[in-house]
Chain A
Amino acid sequence: MIEFHLDGRSGVAPYLQLIQQVRQSLRLGLLREGDQLPTVKDVSGLLAINPNTVLKAYRELEYEGLAAARPGVGTFVTKTLSSDSIAAYTELSLDLEGWLSKARAAGLDDESIGAIFQRTIRTAVQEEAL
């Protein structure tokens, strides 16, 4: 069972933080298929947050196919992010390192690199949505 925490300064909505923490735990292998997520009551009580926030996060995870609710029992993980994807991470992060050194060679500082990264992701997301 994982335990959630909230970063009050991150500016990321609490329900998104919960989703991100589940995804992160899946990627790191801390959560596997069949594992139960903390109950809405437990998360609300622990973090002192609105139960609807937790429900919203769990619904989103269900929509993504990562979790499923069993009525009266709780919400369970339905997918294990396999080691294939962990291998892919290593490769992708090598690619990114290559890109980063190119960006630095072109004279970009961290902030500009961050800006390009954010903008590209946003554009890609918008194009997907269309």
Chain B
Amino acid sequence: MTAAIEALGLGKRYGRRWALSDCTLSIPAGRVTGLVGPNGAGKTTLINLATGMLAPTTGSITVLGSKPASGPEQLAKVGYVAQDTPTYAGLTVEDHLRFGAHMNPGWDAALAHKRMSQLGIDPKQKAGKLSGGQRAQLALTLAIAKRPELLILDEPIASLDPLARREFLQVLMETTAEHEISVVMSSHLVADLERVTDYLIVLMSSRVQVTGDIDELLATHYLLSGARRDPAALPAGQQVISARHTDRQSTILVRSTEPILDPTWSVSQLDLEDLVLAYMGNTTASVETGHKIMEEQR
């Protein structure tokens, strides 16, 4: 199967600053991928490269097997919802749908109208008068009704209240299941993505820190704690992600495809949020044991 997005040595520079550098990844089709990282990590840059709104400085990117925005056919395959789900404030909901129908050859008018009536959105309403949640739903409907193979969403729910967030994700997941589309969505909040995504990309300081199937990532990371020792002395198959020490104790996060057999470690596994935070170089919540842990800079 063709990958949804494939990048090789991809980079984007603004003046002297690299917004994204040396990004190599392959996102399989049919997955819901979470693109996670703090603000300014390069999430939007990667998304803009994938939608063809930016051209790479180095490397290459292909989306569903072709160069982004390389022609009408390619454009029709990718749905995109920009940050803060923008709409035209002066146009009515109906105008938006008509606009969508004119711009997209594969437009599914029945689906668009059904969505709007299910959500109780009045077609005569001006988009500027919609609530934040309704506006987000309108933007999502426009992207879905073009019947794309891949849907790219940039921080779609960051500005929504919890109820609107849930409703947005419900529609997104229902559509994903019904039309078997691939989804890539960015967020700086892992909690938003935990149940909806099954594939993960962590971006930090313009670089990809980790990428992979979430179940597989969770199954291969172990938090080891025990008497103090040198992380360099661990078996070769155990890749150290982070290590912290007190004068007596070591707490080490390792990635290993083999189970941890050393009985002197107390072994626990992480949840998605802890895993992401570890790769962002933060202290993981589960390591906080109430003791004061001195961090050692390695």
Query: Could you tell me which A residues sit within 8 Å of B by CB distance?
Result: 6, 11, 14, 39-42, 44-54
Q: Which residue of A lies closest to B178 (CB)?
A: A41
Query: Does chain A have a CB within 8 A of B130?
Result: no
- Pairs across A and B, CB under 8 Å, 26 listed: A41-B174, A41-B178, A44-B176, A44-B177, A45-B170, A45-B173, A45-B174, A45-B177, A46-B170, A47-B173, A47-B195, A48-B172, A49-B195, A50-B173, A50-B195, A50-B196, A50-B197, A50-B198, A51-B32, A51-B176, A51-B177, A52-B30, A52-B31, A52-B32, A52-B198, A53-B195
Determine the chain B residues whose CB is within 8 A of the CB of A51 once the complex forms: 32, 173, 176-177
Determine the chain B residues whose CB is within 8 A of the CB of A50 once the complex forms: 32, 173, 176, 195-198
Looking at A40, A46, A48, the one whose CB has the most chain B CB atoms below 10 A away is: A48
Query: Could you tell me which B residues sit within 8 Å of A by CB distance?
Result: 30-32, 166, 169-174, 176-178, 195-198, 271
Task: For residue B111, give the distance in angstroms from its CB to the closest CB of chain A.
Answer: 13
Main DSSP-derived SS at the A contact region: helix
Q: What would 16 more interface pairs be, CB under 8 Å, given A48-B169, A49-B195, A50-B195?
A: A11-B271, A39-B177, A41-B177, A44-B174, A44-B177, A45-B170, A45-B173, A46-B170, A47-B170, A47-B173, A48-B195, A49-B173, A50-B173, A51-B32, A52-B30, A54-B177
The listed residue (A11, A14, A40) touching B177 by CB distance below 8 A is A40
The listed residue (A11, A48, A52, A54) touching B166 by CB distance below 8 A is A48
Do residues A6 and B177 form an inter-chain contact, with CB atoms below 8 A?
A: no
Complex CA gap A53/B271 in Å reads 16
Task: For residue A56, give the distance in angstroms from its CB to the closest CB of chain B.
Answer: 9
Q: Which residue of A lies closest to B170 (CB)?
A: A48
Task: For residue B293, give the distance in angstroms from its CB to the closest CB of chain A.
Answer: 23
Determine the chain B residues whose CB is within 8 A of the CB of A39 once the complex forms: 177
Complex CA gap A42/B171 in Å reads 10
Looking at B170, B174, B177, the one whose CB has the most chain A CB atoms below 10 A away is: B177
